[in-house]
Amino acid sequence: MLPDKKNQKILPCHYFHQDAIGEYWEDRLPLSWAKDIVDNGIPVLSWGGWQDLNETGALRGYVAFQNEVAGRDIYLPMEEGQKTSPCYQQIMHKVVEMPNRI
């Protein structure tokens, strides 16, 4: 059940974990660390594939870091033409299927 309070921020985790509303779970979301990582000048190079199990996590992380640098909400999509920081990079690769072996 989603909170029904007007103007309350709804985090992506709320759609997946009904009991995840609250500071305890919000502090444990990896994207919530984006501000601390950027503020401390820690560069990040993440690697993901279009068919990886964690495909969207890698892209969401990249967007969160770039938005944090730009002073935007980390959960929003990047704006068209948004400047990017070279400190936060993402490598996406195509997963190659292995041939069936007998």
Kindly report whether the global pTM for this prediction surpasses the value 0.75.
no
Q: So what's the pLDDT on residue 45?
A: 94
| Of 96 and 30, the one with more pLDDT | 30
For the stretch 45-84, pLDDT in tens is: 988 877 766 667 888 899 999 999 999 999 899 999 999 9
pLDDT score at 98: 64
Residue-wise pLDDT for 13-52, tens only, equals 444 444 545 677 666 777 888 999 999 999 999 888 777 6
In this structure, how many other beta carbons lie within 10 angstroms of the beta carbon of residue 65? Answer: 27
Please say whether the dihedral angle defined by the alpha carbons of residues 46, 47, 52 and 56, taken in this order, is positive or negative.
positive
Report the C-alpha gap between 95 and 93 in whole angstroms: 6
Residue 11 above 80 pLDDT? no
16, amino acid identity: F
